[in-house]
Chain A
Amino acid sequence: MTTFALAQIDELWLQGTLAERRLLHGRAEERGNEIIASDERDDALVTACEAAVERMRPFIPPDARVRLVSRNGDAAMTVEINGISIVTTPEFVESDVRLLRSVRPVTRHPSPVPLVWLNGSAAVLLHEAIGHPRELNIADVAWPEWLRVDCPIELRRASFSDVPLRRMTRVVVSQVNAPFALPDDRIDVQLVRGGAYDPLTDVVTIDVAVPRFTFRATRAEVAAALLGAMGEPVRYPGVVCSREGQELVVGSYAPVIVTRGFA
């Protein structure tokens, strides 16, 4: 028998004012293919969450929509300004919010112009194109030899009443001797709003937030579009991954990567 215990506090702050606060706690016991769950309280976990939320509150930007979430004492902050959001921690919130304020969400149409994935944003592309297929045990397509993607898969669940699923714990993209040439004519991808992978069609969908556009491509097309990379992996400010309605934070890192455009 395995046991899972969870406490979670989340708070929604709108322009510096508390709008919502939730406490959630519970425990699940697994016996074979049966889970028995109840909202039993673990005081130590609740106390750890209270402390984490206290730690995050001083970093709330007063002009933003901010969600603070602590699960069993960890800390995650979703900060939204002008319709664009990042997911961060107290440690990185100041620099991440500076990035958020520095970008302008102009709309672009998908085009063949190469994309330069900055700020670790290529981790989202490969989260969808490599991470989710691995979660589902779908055979890999041929990726460039210079590409390395470390995405450990573990059984994870969002809440005590959820069925644990094979989920990524992090995505760390790196490169070994990758070619790299910065195209003169290019679109710089600064932040990504979200993405999806459909195992039925093998299609990856990426919603780029800055600049604003959406594209769809098969995994083979994504692999063929990878032109090169430069530097060390950079932390991307935020991936909250949703599968089967279960939202989990996935730490994400990638170097600067160049791809063909997806017209």
Chain B
Amino acid sequence: MIYRKWGRVVRWENGTLVRVEEAGEAREENGVFFAQPIAERVALPEVDAGWVIETARAIGEAERVIVTHGVALHEYGDVRWPEETRRVHVALIRKPWRVLVDDVDVATVRNALARCEGERDFEHLLVPAHIASPLLECGGHAAAVGASARLEQLAGGRDGYGRPIERHRVDGEPPNFYRPSYRVRPVRRWMNVRAIPSGTVQAAPKVLALVDGGKALVDDGGRVFVTPLRPDMLL
């Protein structure tokens, strides 16, 4: 069977606005993966360049500012499904730290970074879902965390072969495949991962953002620190 993708994206990358329109297909024959562009076009929704530009300008000065709005139509066999993504990636720096923000609310992190008092080690941390999920989705992290926290894949969306992503305990081989681009052979991966709620949440510093080098920016009762980020810190 052939996988096809039609996509349109507008991206702000450090002051340059990039508009891209492309389509391609991929197939696997006797274990060999082939991918190539296709000339066929389908109607796609418009992308919101205004939102991209306004969001990027509102973020202001940073080492890296990438804002994207993308729309895509995927097809695998008889299944077709649309996708829309809005992403923000910002790197803020205050020597010696580089803070990575993958969220529209950059101002909160910027203000916290300005108040950071230094580095401090904490026994436990509270990691909000939007920061924890990308860490947990890659197999290695999921396995590392698995011993101390039970994880689950939440239902939502379709995987790289058009199959619904269903609720599933993170255990053993992932049932779904991740296909970030038509040019990439799909790989098994857990998606929409979160820790299964259990027990009582203890008071602990809250992670505001990740810091380059395996660290995190945390708010500890109104005081801000950078701390090492270890999987066993998950409550």
Which A residues are closer than 8 A to B by beta carbons? 18-26, 33-39, 41, 161, 163, 200-201
Contact = CB atoms under 8 A, between A and B. Distances in A.
A84 B13 CA distance: 34
B18 A24 contact: no
Specify the main secondary structure of chain A where it touches its partner: strand
B131 interface: no
Contacts of A23: 35-37
A39 B16 contact: no
A212 B72 CA distance: 44
Specify the main secondary structure of chain B where it touches its partner: strand
Contacts of A20: 32-35, 185
Interface in B1-46: 13-24, 31-37, 39
B93 interface: yes
A26 B22 CA distance: 9
Most B CB within 10 A of own CB, among A22, A34, A161:
A22
B134 to A, nearest CB: 16
B185 A161 contact: no
B20 A38 contact: yes
A22 B35 contact: yes
B172 interface: no
B15 A33 contact: yes
Contacts of B63: 200
22 contacts: A18-B32, A19-B33, A20-B32, A20-B33, A20-B35, A20-B185, A21-B33, A21-B34, A22-B35, A22-B36, A23-B35, A25-B37, A34-B18, A35-B19, A38-B20, A161-B20, A161-B22, A200-B95, A200-B96, A200-B212, A201-B95, A201-B96
B24 A39 contact: yes
Given A33-B15, A36-B19, A41 B34 contact: no
B37 A39 contact: yes
A161 B18 contact: yes
B16 A33 contact: yes
Contacts of B14: 163
The 9 lowest CB-CB distance pairs between A and B, nearest first, are A39-B22, A23-B36, A39-B37, A20-B33, A161-B20, A35-B18, A22-B35, A37-B20, A163-B16
Nearest to A22: B35
Contacts of A161: 18, 20, 22
A167 to B, nearest CB: 15
B206 interface: no
A214 to B, nearest CB: 14
A161 B93 CA distance: 27
B98 interface: yes
A175 B214 CA distance: 39
Contact of A41 (B37, B95, B96): B37
Interface in B61-84: 63
